[in-house]
Amino acid sequence: MRIALGSDHAGVELKARVVKALDDRHLDYHDFGPSTGSPVDYPDYAARVAERVASGEFDQGILICGTGVGMAIAANKIPGIRAAHVVDRDGARLSREHNDANVLTLGARTTSVEQALDMVDAFLTTPFGGGRHQRRVDKIMALEGGRSVPTTRTVSPVQDVDPQR
């Protein structure tokens, strides 16, 4: 597995902790910057990482900014990217298992180091579940390409409250 990393100035310190965790696990990664806390624009780094993941050069990406939200918005503009901003381990796990997310975004100002490392671990170790989830990911990809998404079943809101569906 190859991992692409990036942050803005707010995420440099947390990214350094993620890098140490990746080193400890002997995982292959590349840090696309920045390396200092000097102000930068997060969309620049989101694009660097997302483009490399979308091209297949890297399997997954991790992006960190102050909240994680800006990185997710910017990364999701790159075709082929399913960036997930998560706030706990379950969100990280389910983003992989159900959505085949390929980029994790974290908030350095809103997440403790321990929480962030726990989310990174869940994200990197959870495989995509496939099955019924593949149909939904295919629909996401169709939306990205500007195609309409056919409805496969009609469900009332009351019927669709089961998260296992």
- 81 Cβ contact list (under 8 Å, min separation 6): 50, 53, 54, 61, 75, 102, 103
Helix, strand, coil % in the chain, rounded to nearest 5: 45, 15, 40
Distance CA 58, CA 10 (A): 24
Distance CA 55, CA 60 (A): 11
56 HSE (CA, 13 A, CB side): 0
Q: Are 106 and 119 contacting, i.e. CB atoms less than 8 angstroms apart? A: yes
- What one-letter code names the amino acid at 33? G
98 is catalytic: yes
Q: Which of 9, 26, 30, 65 is catalytic?
A: 65
26 is catalytic: no
- 100 Cβ contact list (under 8 Å, min separation 6): 82, 128, 133, 137
Q: Which of 9, 26, 85, 98 is catalytic?
A: 98
Q: Which residues are designated catalytic?
A: 65, 98
